Chain A
């Protein structure tokens, strides 16, 4: 059992594409049931409808709960290239920016993403990007990996694990989160190949079950200190100022 859990990958809101309960109440219940100290979260309104309204909702909800750390999102289909938008988000208290090409349907090699990356470069805010398929991680690292802000690959499963490892070996500011690390020795392999300091715990809750990714790390054949790094220390270091 880790001393503390910071979950880097959660969200809340409505979901029109299937019947599923992604309410904030459900997320908060999961936090309590699983002894999670903090979750980085955002409203899906910003992903599926309008990022301005969604980010405002994220900030409002996070201000009402000490467990919630706000992540912002920008929709590249709407973003027209003003880097000050990213600065504004940082000044509003957002700790991370997330992009969702999987849910929004745009290609990774997309001019607005370059512009967003330039804004992040100045603020040093971490960026988490959901992966699509083979080559997605390679494309996003080619596009934004030259900047010094942390780039977190989300959705890395067995099929793209080799891709992630090679990228992480060559680009020091690339990280992975754990929600889709689904092969039996994925955590051990990553720790041995790139180090525990490059892995962040993420569950993808409440879209998917929390306990699977939790057990994958908790039961991994790695040191207790490595588990503490993955479960919270790396996140706390990256996000800064998220302790109680």
Chain B
């Protein structure tokens, strides 16, 4: 089955992961049937937004299967605005990404809101890393602030072995038609996809792998195993992404 991956990364990691070259990434995509993927730069997220976004821009030109998010850092509003101006007009950049854990700024702080307003005006999507109840509330605030912005809740609210942020994520998405749930994570509790489809519907759930940090096997296996109709799996794997990203 065709797969569009809306949550991928390009770059190195401070973990023993050795897949930062284009050929490694293409190999990984082929292994799991990922036709296209939308990347953000790990360098931009964890260290230097400007250097990372520039590196990603070069990477995207290597394959028609690669698309990108511009990483924004709400600690640097002016520079982030410049990044939007520089990249977001390009066809290959489909949206913006904010990761509050590394910037230590909430996605709903006034600086983030200012940046997201710009993305909204350009009719681009926003992928927001969301992990735990507090970040679910922040991402929900963004969705409420901009009803015409497509907000992708990364990790569908996340949390690992004990946490249930994803349950809060599902609750948040139920009431917000512009809020989409992206499914990746490390510890994926059984039935999370079935619960999401039953609560939100299968047209607002998006496949994401978090490669190259995470193995697409984890999320491909989860969707394959999920006790939902085949048509719902197709929506999650590619149709919803094709629609909202106009791919």
Contact = CB atoms under 8 A, between A and B. Distances in A.
Contacts of B81: none
A216 interface: yes
A189 B13 CA distance: 15
B17 A205 contact: no
A212 interface: yes
B104 interface: no
Interface residues on A, range: 20 to 34
Contacts of B13: 158
A132 to B, nearest CB: 10
A205 B190 contact: yes
Interface string A90-122: 000000000000100000000000000000000
A162 interface: yes
A31 to B, nearest CB: 13
B188 A184 contact: no
Contacts of B31: 219
A214 interface: yes
A207 B15 contact: no
A209 interface: yes
Nearest to B17: A183
Q: Which of A165, A185, A209, A211 has the most CB of B within 10 A?
A: A209
Nearest to A132: B161
Interface of B: 13, 15-19, 28, 31-32, 161-162, 164, 167, 186-191, 211-222, 224-226
Interface of A: 17-18, 20-21, 102, 155, 157-159, 161-162, 165, 180-186, 189, 204-216, 219
13 contacts: A17-B162, A18-B189, A20-B190, A158-B15, A158-B186, A159-B15, A165-B16, A182-B186, A183-B17, A183-B214, A211-B224, A212-B218, A215-B220
A89 to B, nearest CB: 25
A102 B167 CA distance: 21
Contact of A216 (B15, B211, B213, B217): B217
Contacts of A158: 13, 15-17, 186, 213-214
Contacts of A155: 161
Contacts of A213: 217-218, 221
Contact of B222 (A159, A183, A186, A209): A209
